[in-house]
Structure 1
Amino acid sequence: MESLYSQLRERAAVHGQEHVFRFWHTLDTAGRQRLLEDLGNVDFELLNRLVQTWVLSEPPEEHFRQIVAVPVIPPVEPGDTGAAAALKAGEQALRDGRVAIFMVAGGQGTRLGFDGPKGSYPIGAITGKSLFQYHAEKISKLQERYQAILPWYIMVSPSNHGATQKYFEDHGFWELNRTDILFIEQRMVPCVDLEGKLILEAPDRLAASPNGHGGCIQALVEGGALDDAQRRGVDILSYYQVDNWAARVADPYFIGYHCLRSASMSSKCHRRNDLREAVGVHCLCDGAYRVIEYSELDLYPQLLQSDGAGSPLFFAGNPAIHLLSVPFVRDIYTHFDTFPWHKAFKKIPYVDANGCPCKPDRPNGYKFETFVFDALRFTTHSPVALEIRRSGEYTPIKQFEGVNSVVVARASMSDYWAAWFEAAGYTIPRDTEGHCAVDLEISPAFALSRDEFVRKMKNKPLRLDAGIAIHADGSWEEGTPAAQKKTPAAPPKG
């Protein structure tokens, strides 16, 4: 340990960060090892660049001569010949084993009132199925349909890696093959104060945060996923975030457009609800494909313009659903030092001069992160942006109640599935506004589409006044009658 201590103390001193050793004499052996481990993971050259660029100076704002709306592929419609060609190409890619699933799942369930990885949250109002299980059932169904293996790469963070892997093990990987699932860990980036100094969250711990979903580029390579993909003949990664319950993983239409246009990265987009919706905006900036993050929209007033009806002129919002080619990811990795970074001014817990923990009541430092959509600027082909309808495809879950919440997602999916039941001849209880008045769930392992559902549900004697969940094998369980439904309570913490 002495040799490592000397090396890291010298390195910290060279970069003006020797203060992190100020409690060294008070630490026991385990504490000293923790601090040295944290410091050993610090890329001081990168840290210096971030501090010089974002803390000790302010980078000039980006200005563009021209910002125009990105050309989008319209939502898939029955009878559309272009969509039919895309479907054919996408399904062939799936049958050929060219596609892997890539899920970003580094978050915790704290804002949901839940203690555990966000993906283990019991989103099913009737079944209590987790987000992880719903996504696993989609993959299982796709593998059955296309008679091909879809490897599942899952990006976790150091804070939830162990708990996530254990959750999968405890649930038998939902009968998916364990060898087709790979957990990869994203890097952490240390936090700094207003002077660019490393912050200690404990005498033996650096304050650090995940390097953002753009860190998936490094994680895919360094975690072995890209090598695994190439061994399997996979050249397309279907990217989505774990908290999007409705995400259509490995959508054959989307994959088909990506293949037919020989794209290196493709994206889905949805119509923004309003000018201030907290989503990035797809656009072309001086001809380059960009997504402008919602926190930066004020820098570009044209992105906040509306039409006569009040709808955003730049309507293409970012639901964080992409396709990435394996060669493209590897190429981005080779020059990741040019990848854009972003800073966030946050309240960061720290220890005072006496080593006592403090929780600030106002922002006191900076976190640094990268965004995966910034990879779009490195594409050299025409944009491939497929517009989607939110219903049944985009249900972000960021909190328990309110906008982008568990409550809204459950209601949205019940409304979406209600149309399936009605197409199969059932009567759905609805409220005065026309929304489904009961909870509905349909296992993706039972049906991935309305047509498949209608075909399988013929002549089943269901009672829907209490809500219902259809399981993978076609059996069902009833929920709570509409008249007895109450506002759901958040799961207890702990």
Structure 2
Amino acid sequence: MSTMDESTHRDLTEQYGQSHLFDFWEDLNHNEKAILLRSISEVKFPEMKRLIESLVITEPPAEYYDEIKPVDLVAPKDRRAREAGDAGEALIRAGKVACFTVAGGQGTRLGFDGPKGSYPIGALTGHSLFQYHAEKIRGLQRYYGTVLPWYIMVSPANGDATRAFFKQQNYFALDPANILFFEQQMIPCVNEKGKMMLETPFRLAVSPGGHGGSVQALVEKGILADAASRGVEILSYFQVDNWAVQAADPLFIGHHALQQSDMSSKCHRRNSPREAVGVHCLCDQVYRVIEYSELDIYPQLLQVDASGDAVFSAGNSGIHLLNVSFVQDIYDHFEDFPWHKAFKKIPCIREDGTLFSPDAPNGYKFETFIFDALRFARNPLALEIQRLGEYTPIKDYDGVNSVVAARQSMTDYWSGWMKGAGIAIPEQSGSNAAWQLEISPAWAVNREEFAERAQTLPKSFDKSTAILADGTILSK
């Protein structure tokens, strides 16, 4: 560490009104000083200045629109379904598609110590969320004779553990050269006066920049360049905690391509006007997603029809397709991308150097949402999906959107495959309510392939059953 490093960083903090970050400099040892300088060097000061001035120093007004309309949802079996499916399969075979998973979270709310993606969601197999997604990719690569690169965005909190988990699991039989990890951007937290906060005397208090920050990370970490070098044109985006998501859906990809869309989304129908998901809609003819926390600002989004169903029915599933070229365009104009603030309780260092653990919100965190990119997209498309077999996010251990619900959805979904193939299984009631079923997506990528392969299976099952990637049957 040189005197010039210190001088340069001091000048930078003074230029942007953040010189207090050096208040404890004389009390730090050599290593702590190096950590502080590195922490400061990672800050995008011009961007932070803009956020502080536009979101903290001044209170931005809510956006209001003259007209808000529901988006048109494309039905899964619309008139172009066959054409779309064929187009999507052709793009996958040609190596034009890569998978992109957001996996920066920890399993704390599930009672699990480790990256959320390593949580053992398989009730019978103990297979992790990562393994389920990996086996989907393995199955697709086998089925279409192609390679699907897998880009995984982690966080500083779980990045090392995630990489170690993949290595321990031998990358789930995938080629590690086709799996690239990269870290999401961390954003400094600020107090009510717009001053950056210190977590320790030598480390800034930071928080994840949100899924929208993946745009910056994809470019700045070299992931977009890697995709382009492989000939990839479309990124299939999904969140790690949705076990049911299709890693690369030919029908969705085909509709996206036929529509000549920059960005497309899968939407499930909201189960109530107050469901805690974003709402896809057209605001003054511009595609937007209104976050559920803002529903009361736009009361029309709470309307119901004669049947009591939400008029604005398109719920955000966090499943998207993004063109590689579109991601680069968004990055090149990221100063136009909307940021959001959240007033939170943020532990920090007081002026006297002691730790302060607040009982009430005391500072702001900043984040961006990937769905906000839709407002900049040409020809955005929304494909309607059923929740079962597509959207089962895991936020808690029990209740709605939980581990328990996800495991039940596995059994419900694959039971349909079994019955469709003429295989007898226990009814889900009474003493059989605990009967469970898992089918590896590496063994059967879809219902049609399962029906073909099921000819080698027994004609009935009376025990909880898992069919593994190699076709081995595990019964308990």
> What is the TM-score normalised by the length of structure 1?
0.93
Once residues 92 and 17 of structure 1 are traced to their aligned partners in structure 2, the CA distance between those partners, rounded to angstroms, is 53
| 1:95 alignment partner, one of 76, 79, 93 | 93
Once residues 261 and 423 of structure 1 are traced to their aligned partners in structure 2, the CA distance between those partners, rounded to angstroms, is 32
Once residues 476 and 264 of structure 1 are traced to their aligned partners in structure 2, the CA distance between those partners, rounded to angstroms, is 42
| 2:198 alignment partner, one of 197, 200, 208 | 200
1:380/1:434 Cα in 2 relative to 1: closer, same or farther (>3 Å)? farther
Aligned to 1:386: 383
1:291/1:436 Cα in 2 relative to 1: closer, same or farther (>3 Å)? farther
Aligned to 1:21: 22
Once residues 67 and 165 of structure 2 are traced to their aligned partners in structure 1, the CA distance between those partners, rounded to angstroms, is 48
Once residues 360 and 103 of structure 1 are traced to their aligned partners in structure 2, the CA distance between those partners, rounded to angstroms, is 34
Say if 2:263 and 2:321, in contact at 8 Å, map to a contact too.
Answer: yes
Superposed counterparts of 1:143-292, under 5 Å: 143-292=141-290
Q: Which moved more, 1:432-441 or 1:101-110?
A: 432-441
Counterpart of 2:393 in 1: which secondary structure? coil
Counterpart of 2:455 in 1: which secondary structure? coil
Whether 1:56 and 2:54 are equivalent positions in the alignment is no
Q: Percent identity?
A: 57
Stretches of structure 2 that go unaligned for 5 or more consecutive residues are none
Once residues 450 and 187 of structure 1 are traced to their aligned partners in structure 2, the CA distance between those partners, rounded to angstroms, is 39
Q: Which moved more, 1:424-433 or 1:22-31?
A: 424-433
Q: Which moved more, 1:57-66 or 1:459-468?
A: 459-468
Counterpart of 1:318 in 2: which secondary structure? strand
Counterpart of 1:458 in 2: which secondary structure? helix
Say if 1:90 and 1:252, in contact at 8 Å, map to a contact too.
Answer: yes
- Displacement of 1:241 after TM fit? 0.6
Say if 1:418 and 1:436, in contact at 8 Å, map to a contact too.
Answer: no
Aligned to 2:120: 122
- Displacement of 1:433 after TM fit? 8.9
- Displacement of 1:154 after TM fit? 1.0
Once residues 97 and 397 of structure 1 are traced to their aligned partners in structure 2, the CA distance between those partners, rounded to angstroms, is 30
Aligned to 1:482: none
Counterpart of 2:326 in 1: which secondary structure? helix
Once residues 437 and 458 of structure 1 are traced to their aligned partners in structure 2, the CA distance between those partners, rounded to angstroms, is 26
Give the letter aligned to residue 421 of structure 2. A
Aligned to 2:36: 35
Q: Which moved more, 1:18-27 or 1:150-159?
A: 18-27
- Displacement of 1:162 after TM fit? 1.3
Q: Deviations over 1:15-53 (max 9, x none)?
A: 222222222222211111111111111112111111111
1:317/1:266 Cα in 2 relative to 1: closer, same or farther (>3 Å)? same
Once residues 354 and 463 of structure 1 are traced to their aligned partners in structure 2, the CA distance between those partners, rounded to angstroms, is 71
Aligned to 1:439: 436
Superposed counterparts of 1:76-91, under 5 Å: 76-77=76-77, 81-91=79-89
Aligned to 1:69: 70
Superposed counterparts of 1:459-470, under 5 Å: 460-461=457-458, 464-470=461-467
Superposed counterparts of 1:444-483, under 5 Å: 444-458=441-455, 460-461=457-458, 464-479=461-476
Whether 1:347 and 2:345 are equivalent positions in the alignment is yes
Once residues 446 and 130 of structure 1 are traced to their aligned partners in structure 2, the CA distance between those partners, rounded to angstroms, is 17
Aligned to 2:394: 397
Q: Deviations over 1:210-244 (max 9, x none)?
A: 11100111111111121111111111111111111
1:435/1:294 Cα in 2 relative to 1: closer, same or farther (>3 Å)? farther
- Displacement of 1:64 after TM fit? 0.8
Give the letter aligned to residue 278 of structure 1. A
Counterpart of 1:154 in 2: which secondary structure? strand
Aligned to 2:412: 415
Once residues 143 and 24 of structure 1 are traced to their aligned partners in structure 2, the CA distance between those partners, rounded to angstroms, is 54
Give the letter aligned to residue 40 of structure 1. S
Counterpart of 1:320 in 2: which secondary structure? strand
Say if 2:262 and 2:377, in contact at 8 Å, map to a contact too.
Answer: yes
- Displacement of 1:81 after TM fit? 4.1
1:114/1:462 Cα in 2 relative to 1: closer, same or farther (>3 Å)? farther
Once residues 173 and 4 of structure 1 are traced to their aligned partners in structure 2, the CA distance between those partners, rounded to angstroms, is 40
Q: Deviations over 1:91-137 (max 9, x none)?
A: 11111111111111111111111111111111111111111111011
Q: Which moved more, 1:313-322 or 1:1-10?
A: 1-10
Once residues 274 and 261 of structure 2 are traced to their aligned partners in structure 1, the CA distance between those partners, rounded to angstroms, is 30
Q: Deviations over 1:305-349 (max 9, x none)?
A: 111222110000000111111111111111111111001111111
Q: Deviations over 1:437-463 (max 9, x none)?
A: 422111110112223223222353377
Say if 2:192 and 2:363, in contact at 8 Å, map to a contact too.
Answer: yes
| 1:425 alignment partner, one of 422, 425, 436 | 422
Q: Deviations over 1:45-66 (max 9, x none)?
A: 1111111111111112111111
Once residues 4 and 435 of structure 1 are traced to their aligned partners in structure 2, the CA distance between those partners, rounded to angstroms, is 67
Q: Which moved more, 1:365-374 or 1:38-47?
A: 38-47
Q: Deviations over 1:62-84 (max 9, x none)?
A: 1111110101101x23xx54111
- Displacement of 1:364 after TM fit? 1.4
Say if 2:394 and 2:406, in contact at 8 Å, map to a contact too.
Answer: yes
Once residues 209 and 44 of structure 2 are traced to their aligned partners in structure 1, the CA distance between those partners, rounded to angstroms, is 12
Give the letter aligned to residue 350 of structure 2. D
Aligned to 2:322: 324
Q: Which moved more, 1:453-462 or 1:83-92?
A: 453-462
Give the letter aligned to residue 335 of structure 1. H
Counterpart of 2:243 in 1: which secondary structure? coil
Once residues 463 and 223 of structure 1 are traced to their aligned partners in structure 2, the CA distance between those partners, rounded to angstroms, is 50
Aligned to 1:491: none
Once residues 275 and 374 of structure 1 are traced to their aligned partners in structure 2, the CA distance between those partners, rounded to angstroms, is 21
Say if 1:415 and 1:435, in contact at 8 Å, map to a contact too.
Answer: no
Once residues 10 and 241 of structure 2 are traced to their aligned partners in structure 1, the CA distance between those partners, rounded to angstroms, is 41
Once residues 347 and 399 of structure 2 are traced to their aligned partners in structure 1, the CA distance between those partners, rounded to angstroms, is 27
Once residues 456 and 96 of structure 2 are traced to their aligned partners in structure 1, the CA distance between those partners, rounded to angstroms, is 38
RMSD: 1.7
1:435/1:206 Cα in 2 relative to 1: closer, same or farther (>3 Å)? farther
Give the letter aligned to residue 53 of structure 1. S
Aligned to 1:483: none
Counterpart of 2:80 in 1: which secondary structure? helix
Say if 2:187 and 2:207, in contact at 8 Å, map to a contact too.
Answer: yes
Size of the alignment, in residue pairs?
475
Once residues 194 and 113 of structure 1 are traced to their aligned partners in structure 2, the CA distance between those partners, rounded to angstroms, is 33
Counterpart of 2:194 in 1: which secondary structure? coil
Counterpart of 2:438 in 1: which secondary structure? strand
Give the letter aligned to residue 465 of structure 2. I
- Displacement of 1:436 after TM fit? 5.6
